[in-house]
Structure 1
Amino acid sequence: MNKYLACGVCLLALHNSAHALTLPASPVTAPAVDDERVDLNTPTTAGSRLNLTALQTPGSVESQTGAKIRERGDASVQDAISRATGISRIGTPGDGGTSLQARGFTGQSSVMQLYDGNRMYTGMGTSTFPVDTWAVERVDVLRGPASVLYGEGATGAVVNTLSKKPFTGDIENHIRLGYGSYDHQQQALDSGGSLTDTLSYRLNLNRLRSNGFIDRGDSSSDFVSAALRWQPADNLSFTLASDYGDQRPQNYFGTPLLNGQLHKSLRDKNYNVSNDTLHYNDQWTRLTSEWQLNDNISATNELYYLKNQRRWRNAENYNFTNGQLTRSANFGIKHNQEQVGDRQTFTFKHRLFGLDSQTVAGVEYNRIRLRLASNSPFDDVLKNGQPIDLYHPAPAAFQSQDPFKPVFATTTKTVAGFAENRLQLTDQLALITGIRRDYAHIDRDDLRDGSQSDKTLTGNNWKAGLVYAITADTSVYGQYATSTDGVGGLISLSPGQQQFDLSTAKQTEMGIKQAFWDHRGEWTLAAYHIVKKKLLTDVPGDPDLKQQVGQQSSNGLEASLDLQLPNAWQLQANAAIVRAQYDDFKQDVAGVQVSRDGNRPVDVPRRTANLWLSQAVTDNIRAGAGVRYVDARYADMANQNKLPSYTVVDASVSWKALHNTTLGLQLSNLFDRTYAVSQYNDGQQWILGEPRSFFVTADYTF
């Protein structure tokens, strides 16, 4: 890959023409419209802090509008983003259902998720903002290492969700009522506009209720997003935003396999305890200041406060052995987390070596406090689990031999300095570089034995990429980037994990992007190679000890296509293939050291593909249908337990019955496929996707 990158750069440098790339102007805040479209000339928030478009970015970037996400019926950002190129869902109740896979790397320690450009540090693997898709304006994705932009924990990809913002003009209101399968109900409001000449607002409310597709599968979600923007001058603005989410998701840890096989008759069974609990409460407040000092210098500051509260009380493992199903792993866990942070950036337009240049530089500070309580060491009342009836499981109460009490508290302080530059080498060739240094100090207090531990970690990352504009609508690029990941969740590292450094990764990538057919079509193609080192691997003879010598890698191809066809047809398609493997990794199995070299990492599909075809049938009727394909994945490091591939078809239709009233119908899993989205308990339980369902909506604007 390095050889091809070097050759490509040489060829690009020899090519010459008169076309010049120009930096985009700052985006204007405006209300969302149903036919809003993002393309290769839309500035992306995930791939750079320089407000570059996809054509100007030396990396794989992709965007989806909130309007399109809601039109397709995607209930969560994770549902929506799993339609993006090469990304798949792997979430479970233990991580808030939010974990993703990208480019062969999995989980929240390798695929970072941002909200309005801000990182939410995850305690014990849980981060659940944004709560739903109602208040989403857009979702941007950068595939590949992004630590140089956002810090440790972004080797596979970074996903940035942008919330709806205040806009100027007349006040607009949008109300939605929805009802569907499993008594699924929605009541939502979106309101925004100008209050005065200098003051504007945006308010979003969303209430969701459902009985769920499993027994005792009730769920509820309430979300409030409010923002107030004050612009005392043309070059100065302040935005105060606050979001609140309270969720009780369907408490479902999967359907157990019987002798390694899934039985569809168990699809709706709930094997959890009677007093199960799964509760997330999130509050996020931020103050953003934007100041255009002059034509060449601008400054942005973001001050924020995040509070998370989590509660689990469940029997999480269901094992079928010798004809008997048992329920075990009675886990009671609670954690409270607070994050206070500030990020200050300055953007400069200037000359460097006599060439046009743009630079963004900044500093970032976070303080995160996490407190955890549980019933560890999680000893069940019955050592071998509680026997339960396979077809009529009795929902007995939660039981544990161990008391529920505080376990530990941590305080993590992080400081980072970063810079990114775009240098216009010629009219067609631009160099984009970036550097970042992260410093993190973790103090941990054991609240049971009184012991203390601390660790200081540092991360240094950089990137360099060349973008060559062959024409105004076609660019090729090559990039080298590094990243760092924690060996576990940074703010919840155990004393043992604190002894290790951050894992390191590096990527080389080449690609091409083109708009054609008078901008009615776009396509992208990317090839990459990633190597991640310093994985924890077992020490021979002692399964309680680890050493940091492991390595894994991935190679892949990704392609996407977007076409505006005649007769108001639109086609969006993408496909990805990845070859991911452990290069140097050993696992202790019953005291024996077993090599996993050459095995595919857990939860990584070799191939994924998505397609969505839609048409404006008339001026008032729009219909669409799509296909999602995810290849088979392994549930264990030994590559013995496999989740089968799946193909799911969804559809939607909307009718603008009146000038301000639209009726919609969304159909999910049209052919009622039984498929596993993810797995639990080392693949002994499959978390199944929702059966065929419908959802009817009525939208009214005034």
Structure 2
Amino acid sequence: MSRLIKLHPLAACLAVTLPVLADEPVLNLPSTAVTDSRDPQRVDLATPTDAGSRLNLSALDTPASISSITASQIEQRNNLTVQDAVTRSPGITFIGNPGDGGTGLSARGFTGHGSVMTLFDGARLYTGAGTQTFPVDPWMVEQIDVIRGPASVLYGEGATGAVINVIPKKPWVGEVRNHLRLGYGSWDRQQLGLDSGGSLSERLSYRLTLNQQAGNGWVDRTDSRSLALSAAVRFDASEDLSFTLAHERGDAQPANYYGTPLIDGHYRNSLRKKNYNIRNDVQRYHDEWTRLTTDWTLTDHVSASNQLYYIKSRRHWRNAENYSWDAAREQLERQSYLQIRHNQEQIGDRQTFSFDHQLFGLPSRTLIGAEYNKVRFNVDSNRPYDDLGADYIDPWQPAAGWFHSNSPTRAQTLSTTHTFALFAENRLQLSERLSLVTGVRRDQNHIERDNLVDASRSDRSLQGGNWRAGLVFAVTDDLSLYGQYSTSEDGVDNLISLAPSQMHYHLTKARQTELGLKQRFWDGRGEWTLAAFHIVKNKLLVADPISHEAQQAGQQTSDGLEASVELALGQRWQLSANAALVRAKFNDFDELVDGTPQSRAGNRPANVPRRTANLWLSKSFGQQVEAGIGARYVDERYADTANSQSAPGYTVVDANIGWQLLPDVRLGLQLNNLFDRAYVASVFSGEQWVMGTPRSYFATVDYTF
């Protein structure tokens, strides 16, 4: 049945001495205000960004593979989630499922939240038990910055594959303007969105976004609903000092679909829309972020920024998660009756100082900073769980059933994690064409874990240190050649949810060598990038062949190429294309199978495709009509480290058209999976595939006033 949407109320590789200030161009922190919400933001290789450095460098000046995705690009390319948007950039693929909040990603051969970090407005939410549930709604997003490859020198452990920084919409100075969207589409999908902002007075400006969605789902019994709210107020105390208070909230009940089971190892299209979960399933996420940001220009050469933030997440699952085929019975056995609650709180502060100065008589920019976080993570669950006997169901006519378990849900663990970091970056202009970009970071982590079942306690301190150095040679003003060496660290699991048996392990170590080219041409109407990388990650957990206990002796390598091109062609054609080739493998990796070590050396890690590609082509017809079509390609991926099970590759085509009916009214139509391709979006297990959405439409009306 259709549900009416109810609108909630809106109410030292750097300078070892203090830098000597000189009359060089001032380094100002990027402003959080924009001038006009109607002007589409354009980000190219020459645009200063925080994607690959806090030094406010452009992509041409940064020795790393980075990209930025604007709000207009997200909307133009039919991206329903942040993950949809990110995976249209080079080499990033989606591997999410309900267990990780539907937000998991793979980059450069490394997978999951332990190696691909997500930030919100530069702040990191520490992932617990592999799950992160915010942000997912692109309506509140101004821009998404992606830095590929190890970035622990910028953001700490857990960033070997990539870092995704989601930047919310900011207040702007100017006339108050509003954007209202109404949308309706396949399976009763509904949207009501509002975006409002502008100046309230000479010194006070604001931004408010609200997006509420609901739908019945393309899989049986997968109703969903969500609310995303973002509110920010900026006070300009003076020309040199500003304060921004922001609060974001997300409430979500996503489609509770754990995948389509394989029958004798084979996919059956007749099961594509069947739901094998229980009738009283639960999947609810509540997230809140509150931030106070202070930007201060102390002098013409010194700037400071501080961000104080509080993050809260509440999550609840109650499901039967696994469905395996019993050939003898010719039925599915429904298993893993799990109930889990997460209660997570994080408070943190990040302080930075930026300097323009002379170093060894050369122009230089330096940033130094410190960051502190305290994270409390509480888990209630029914682990270890007893399913209360076998539950067999007909694959073609599955009985919904009810949640049942012999194991009570109870408080399990409470961990408190303290993290403290010191970091610094520098850009030294060695000559008119050559610059050196360096960075260093030192992390201290202390974890205290209480077992609330047996009252035992464990604690561990983990130290980390990372650095990078890169050279950028400006062949011309629009062509840069770069090379960099960087290091990174990941935990053997998420830091805030390490089990006692994992606490004595050290952080894994990774190092990367990267070379690349970036160029703007045709007077800025075209640009292309090319990057080649080699990553080695050590200290993976492997099984000791004698004791069968895990030890840190494994190694994984990843080599690859990434290329992208952006073209503004004649006759108002726009082309965006990228491709990536990754060869990742375990060099030394043993895992226990039924108590026996099995070598996986030479195998490809699970959920890592070798080839990916994206294409989007759009055309404007005068000032009133714009149409676009795009394709996304993902190669075959293995579902396990043994490389015995795999999911087929796919190509999915999307299209849209927009019509400016009146100066303030725009009509839009999005068509996703145009050719109704049955494809595997991600692999939940070797016996369950999370299938992609069938062909669908979504119509919108946008009114600006």
Alignment TM class, shorter chain as reference: over 0.9
Match of 2:233 among 198, 204, 228: 228
State how far apart, in whole Å, the 2-side matches of 1:176 and 1:35 are.
17
1:701 maps onto 2:700 in alignment: no
CA drift at 1:28: 6.5
Q: CA-to-partner distance for each residue in 1:644-696, whole Å, 9 max, x for gaps?
A: 00000000110000000000001100000000011113x21000000000000
State how far apart, in whole Å, the 2-side matches of 1:437 and 1:659 are.
53
State how far apart, in whole Å, the 1-side matches of 2:597 and 2:497 are.
28
Task: Give the match for residue 248 of structure 1.
Answer: 253
1:325 maps onto 2:325 in alignment: no
State how far apart, in whole Å, the 1-side matches of 2:138 and 2:573 are.
25
Given that residues 25 and 356 in structure 2 are in contact (C-alpha distance below 8 angstroms), is that contact kept between their aligned partners in structure 1?
Answer: no
Given that residues 83 and 136 in structure 2 are in contact (C-alpha distance below 8 angstroms), is that contact kept between their aligned partners in structure 1?
Answer: no
1:100 maps onto 2:105 in alignment: yes
CA drift at 1:392: 1.2
State how far apart, in whole Å, the 2-side matches of 1:403 and 1:270 are.
25
Task: Give the match for residue 625 of structure 2.
Answer: 621
1:355 maps onto 2:351 in alignment: no
Q: CA-to-partner distance for each residue in 1:544-587, whole Å, 9 max, x for gaps?
A: x3111111010000000000000000000000001000010001
Given that residues 660 and 701 in structure 1 are in contact (C-alpha distance below 8 angstroms), is that contact kept between their aligned partners in structure 2?
Answer: yes
Q: CA-to-partner distance for each residue in 1:240-273, whole Å, 9 max, x for gaps?
A: 0000110000001000001111101101100001
Q: CA-to-partner distance for each residue in 1:181-221, whole Å, 9 max, x for gaps?
A: 01000001000000010000000000000101100010010
CA drift at 1:46: 2.2
State how far apart, in whole Å, the 2-side matches of 1:687 and 1:367 are.
35
Task: Give the match for residue 691 of structure 2.
Answer: 688
Match of 2:427 among 422, 434, 437: 422
State how far apart, in whole Å, the 1-side matches of 2:616 and 2:96 are.
23
Task: Give the match for residue 393 of structure 1.
Answer: 398
**Superposition map of 1:363-512 within 5 A:** 363-382=370-389, 385-512=390-517
State how far apart, in whole Å, the 1-side matches of 2:38 and 2:574 are.
17
CA RMSD, aligned part only? 1.3
State how far apart, in whole Å, the 2-side matches of 1:295 and 1:677 are.
51
State how far apart, in whole Å, the 1-side matches of 2:119 and 2:158 are.
11
State how far apart, in whole Å, the 2-side matches of 1:352 and 1:656 are.
54
Task: Give the match for residue 145 of structure 1.
Answer: 150
- TM normalised by structure 2 equals 0.95
Given residue 327 of structure 1, which amino acid in structure 2 is its aligned partner? R
State how far apart, in whole Å, the 2-side matches of 1:64 and 1:131 are.
15
User: Secondary structure, in 3 states, of the residue corresponding to 1:125?
Assistant: coil
Given that residues 541 and 591 in structure 1 are in contact (C-alpha distance below 8 angstroms), is that contact kept between their aligned partners in structure 2?
Answer: no
Task: Give the match for residue 647 of structure 1.
Answer: 651
State how far apart, in whole Å, the 1-side matches of 2:25 and 2:653 are.
40
**Superposition map of 1:508-519 within 5 A:** 508-519=513-524
State how far apart, in whole Å, the 2-side matches of 1:431 and 1:392 are.
64
Change in Cα spacing, 1:162 to 1:96, as seen in structure 2 (3 Å) is same
Give identity over the alignment, percent. 57
Given that residues 438 and 458 in structure 1 are in contact (C-alpha distance below 8 angstroms), is that contact kept between their aligned partners in structure 2?
Answer: yes
Given that residues 478 and 521 in structure 2 are in contact (C-alpha distance below 8 angstroms), is that contact kept between their aligned partners in structure 1?
Answer: yes
1:342 maps onto 2:349 in alignment: yes
Given that residues 306 and 349 in structure 2 are in contact (C-alpha distance below 8 angstroms), is that contact kept between their aligned partners in structure 1?
Answer: yes
Q: CA-to-partner distance for each residue in 1:470-529, whole Å, 9 max, x for gaps?
A: 000000000000000010011000001101000010000000000011111100000000
State how far apart, in whole Å, the 2-side matches of 1:23 and 1:583 are.
44
Given residue 205 of structure 1, which amino acid in structure 2 is its aligned partner? L
**Superposition map of 1:550-565 within 5 A:** 550-565=554-569
Q: CA-to-partner distance for each residue in 1:405-428, whole Å, 9 max, x for gaps?
A: 000100000000000000000011
User: Secondary structure, in 3 states, of the residue corresponding to 2:61?
Assistant: coil
State how far apart, in whole Å, the 1-side matches of 2:27 and 2:621 are.
38
Given residue 247 of structure 1, which amino acid in structure 2 is its aligned partner? A
User: Is 195-204 or 33-42 further displaced after alignment?
Assistant: 33-42
Given that residues 29 and 303 in structure 2 are in contact (C-alpha distance below 8 angstroms), is that contact kept between their aligned partners in structure 1?
Answer: no
State how far apart, in whole Å, the 1-side matches of 2:630 and 2:333 are.
39
User: Secondary structure, in 3 states, of the residue corresponding to 1:55?
Assistant: helix
Match of 1:535 among 540, 546, 551: 540
State how far apart, in whole Å, the 2-side matches of 1:88 and 1:583 are.
23
Match of 2:680 among 676, 679, 686: 676
Given that residues 541 and 592 in structure 1 are in contact (C-alpha distance below 8 angstroms), is that contact kept between their aligned partners in structure 2?
Answer: no
User: Secondary structure, in 3 states, of the residue corresponding to 1:342?
Assistant: strand
CA drift at 1:45: 1.8
User: Is 316-325 or 144-153 further displaced after alignment?
Assistant: 316-325
User: Secondary structure, in 3 states, of the residue corresponding to 2:283?
Assistant: strand
CA drift at 1:21: 11
Match of 2:671 among 619, 643, 667: 667
State how far apart, in whole Å, the 2-side matches of 1:307 and 1:292 are.
31
Given that residues 335 and 372 in structure 1 are in contact (C-alpha distance below 8 angstroms), is that contact kept between their aligned partners in structure 2?
Answer: yes
Given residue 341 of structure 1, which amino acid in structure 2 is its aligned partner? G
User: Secondary structure, in 3 states, of the residue corresponding to 2:138?
Assistant: coil
Given residue 319 of structure 1, which amino acid in structure 2 is its aligned partner? S
User: Secondary structure, in 3 states, of the residue corresponding to 2:191?
Assistant: strand
Given that residues 32 and 137 in structure 1 are in contact (C-alpha distance below 8 angstroms), is that contact kept between their aligned partners in structure 2?
Answer: no
State how far apart, in whole Å, the 1-side matches of 2:141 and 2:135 are.
8
Task: Give the match for residue 10 of structure 2.
Answer: none
User: Secondary structure, in 3 states, of the residue corresponding to 1:567?
Assistant: helix
State how far apart, in whole Å, the 2-side matches of 1:44 and 1:330 are.
46
CA drift at 1:35: 3.6
State how far apart, in whole Å, the 1-side matches of 2:471 and 2:541 are.
34
Give 5+ residue unaligned stretches, structure 2: 1-23
Given that residues 28 and 297 in structure 2 are in contact (C-alpha distance below 8 angstroms), is that contact kept between their aligned partners in structure 1?
Answer: no
1:601 maps onto 2:598 in alignment: no
1:264 maps onto 2:278 in alignment: no
CA drift at 1:540: 2.6
Q: CA-to-partner distance for each residue in 1:426-453, whole Å, 9 max, x for gaps?
A: 0110000000000000000000001000
CA drift at 1:34: 5.6
Given that residues 261 and 267 in structure 2 are in contact (C-alpha distance below 8 angstroms), is that contact kept between their aligned partners in structure 1?
Answer: yes
Given that residues 424 and 441 in structure 2 are in contact (C-alpha distance below 8 angstroms), is that contact kept between their aligned partners in structure 1?
Answer: yes
Task: Give the match for residue 96 of structure 2.
Answer: 91
Given that residues 272 and 395 in structure 1 are in contact (C-alpha distance below 8 angstroms), is that contact kept between their aligned partners in structure 2?
Answer: yes
Given residue 513 of structure 2, which amino acid in structure 1 is its aligned partner? T
Given that residues 199 and 230 in structure 1 are in contact (C-alpha distance below 8 angstroms), is that contact kept between their aligned partners in structure 2?
Answer: yes
Task: Give the match for residue 8 of structure 1.
Answer: none
Aligned pair count reads 679
Given that residues 677 and 688 in structure 1 are in contact (C-alpha distance below 8 angstroms), is that contact kept between their aligned partners in structure 2?
Answer: yes
Task: Give the match for residue 182 of structure 1.
Answer: 187
State how far apart, in whole Å, the 1-side matches of 2:168 and 2:348 are.
19
Match of 1:591 among 584, 588, 595: 595
User: Is 32-41 or 442-451 further displaced after alignment?
Assistant: 32-41
CA drift at 1:542: 5.6
User: Secondary structure, in 3 states, of the residue corresponding to 1:79?
Assistant: helix
1:291 maps onto 2:296 in alignment: yes
Match of 2:639 among 635, 640, 662: 635
User: Secondary structure, in 3 states, of the residue corresponding to 1:69?
Assistant: helix
Given residue 573 of structure 2, which amino acid in structure 1 is its aligned partner? W
CA drift at 1:71: 2.0
Change in Cα spacing, 1:402 to 1:542, as seen in structure 2 (3 Å) is farther
CA drift at 1:22: 10
CA drift at 1:36: 2.7
